[in-house]
Amino acid sequence: MTGTVTSRVLSRMPPYPFAALEQKASESTGDKRVLRFAIGDPDLPPAPSLVQAAFDAMRAPGGNRYSSSRGEGVLRRAFADWFRLRFGVVVDPASEVCVLVGSKEGIAALPRALLDPGVRVAIPDPGYPAYSNGARLARMRPARFPLDPHGGWLPDWEQWPRGSRLLYLNYPNNPTGAVAGLDELSGAIDRARDQGFVIAYDNAYSEITFGGERAPSILQRPNAREHAVEFHSLSKTLGIPGWRIGFAVGGAERIAALTALKSHADSGAAMPLQAAASRALAEYDADGWPTEVRRSIEEYGHRLRSLATGLTEHGWPVDMPRGTLYLWQRAPHGDGARFAERLLSQHRILVTPGAAFGRAGRQFVRWSVTAPPEDVEEALLRLGSE
């Protein structure tokens, strides 16, 4: 056998940007350690009760067995109860909820579950790289769909790529920190109905908002489940990114298609972790998450405010985001890649160049505050020594 050992599709794809950043950081040399602000990998630990629940489930009979591709009924019911409390939306846990091995799995799999190769998929620009990569791996055609920087990073419908069959939307938004209200989401659903496309709504940061703001679900819009599939993640909210627990919720036919695809590719999330997640969701009430979770979200907000204030004091004005774990900074002189390289080479600070999220991000860098507060302070000290 001769030639490449990878498929043409895979060989044509650039390295996943966050993997490339970690490689760059490991290769960086110098006396100071690298301060890592590139990846949204929560450093705050999960609540002890959540860890204990997982441990108990591991020791229980059946904790070592396979889970179904759809996920265990106890977790699907817990998610449906949480969804009703949080958004006032009733979903059927038997047919409208699917447990995911992290929301990224479902986000990347949905195009293959619903569409055939060759169709056009609208990708927000800037946007999470898994959207375009998932489309490419499914042999579909990603089409840029700009978000308007002057309109709060909401969709610029004047530049809608016509003929697209699927649209990815994400609010609270990674990387910009923007939040969309129900009016904006209602407009998206109206367009999906009129033009015949499906919305993949990434709501992974629904619980991480600041200033008393609460992000909505796109399924709060009447009849939205006919046109949208919504994705949620427990990674950031509960501090369990490595446990890989997420959800898809939507109309029964599309959830069935996603589940069918998963049945060919995996055996579901680990049973003990599903049991622990169901217990954590049960601690939610109409007033919100339990105290320890709220404290984690407040801590991330504190880090973001400290970073935004410090950068502004150093002459780089930046706004506090309305949500997510990220600060979206316009780079000096409008070159995000050069600024990120300068931060790493001169200050041993690793951030993500905005171009990793699309052409619209080339003038920006993204900071993630999933690093300890002392690292935020140290980064600002290093920048102040210029």
Domain closes at, from 262, 282, 302:
282
Same domain, 275 and 195: yes
Q: Is residue 152 assigned to a domain?
A: yes
In a domain, 3, yes or no: no
In a domain, 273, yes or no: yes
Assess whether 191 and 139 both reside in one domain.
yes
**Helix and strand counts by DSSP (H, E) for the chain:** 13, 13
N residues, the chain: 386
Quick one: 126 and 255 in the same domain?
Answer: yes
Taking the C-alpha atoms of residue 251 and residue 118, their distance in angstroms, rounded to an integer, is 24
CATH number of the domain to which 207 belongs: 3.40.640.10
169 with 91, same domain: the answer is yes
Is residue 224, in this structure, part of any structural domain at all? yes
Segments forming the whole domain that contains residue 370: 8-45+290-384
Interval 257-291: pLDDT, tens? 999 999 988 888 999 999 999 999 999 987 888 88
What is the pLDDT, as a whole number, of residue 1?
A: 45
Where among 248, 282, 316 does a domain terminate?
282
User: CA-based diameter of the chain, in Å?
Assistant: 62
Task: Give me the number of domains the chain comprises.
Answer: 2
Determine if the peptide bond prior to 126 is cis (ω within 30°).
yes
The angle, 0 to 180 degrees and rounded to 10, between the axes of the packed helices 271-282 and 48-59 is: 140
Same domain? For 85 and 227 the reply is yes
**Amino acid identity for residue 345 in this structure:** S
Q: Is the pLDDT of residue 17 over 90?
A: no
Tell whether 270 is covered by a domain. yes
131-162 as b/e: b if 16+ CB within 10 A: bbbbbbbbebebbbbbbebeeebbbbeeebbe
Q: Kindly state whether residues 54 and 40 are assigned to the same domain.
A: no
In sequence order, what are the residues at sequence separation of 6 or more whose Cβ sits closer than 8 angstroms to the Cβ of residue 222?
none
What's the token pair of residue 131?
A: 């959207």
Q: Are residues 248 and 201 part of one domain?
A: yes
Distance, CA of 168 to CA of 371 (rounded, Å): 28
Answer whether residue 1 is part of any domain.
no
- Report residue 177 CA to chain centroid gap: 11
Given pLDDT bands bounded at 50, 70 and 90, which one contains residue 106?
very high
Flag whether 129 is in a domain.
yes
How many C-beta atoms surround the C-beta of residue 97 within 10 A?
26
Q: Is residue 2 part of a domain?
A: no
CATH of the domain at 297: 3.90.1150.10
Whole-model pTM above 0.85? Answer: yes
What are the backbone angles phi and psi of residue 177, rounded to the nearest 5°? 80, 5
The answer to whether residues 74 and 184 belong to one domain is: yes
Do residues 276 and 296 share a domain?
no
Cα 56 to Cα 37: distance, rounded to the nearest angstrom: 34
Check if the beta carbon of residue 369 is closer than 8 Å to that of residue 325. yes
End position of a domain, from candidates 282, 309, 338: 282
Are residues 336 and 222 part of one domain?
Answer: no
- Per-residue pLDDT tens digits for 37-90: 999 999 999 999 999 999 999 999 988 888 888 999 999 999 999 999 999 999
Q: Per DSSP, which regions of the chain are E strands?
A: 35-36, 97-100, 120-125, 141-148, 154-155, 166-170, 198-202, 228-233, 246-250, 326-330, 349-350, 352-353, 364-368
Confidence bin at 10 (pLDDT 50/70/90): confident
DSSP state of 149: G
pLDDT tens, residue by residue, 187-237 = 999 999 999 999 999 999 999 999 888 999 999 998 899 999 999 999 999
- The answer to whether 161 and 195 are in contact (CB under 8 A) is no
Per-residue pLDDT, 385: 67
Question: In the numeric block, which tokens belong to residue 164?
Answer: 């697209």
Distance CA 110, CA 230 (A): 11
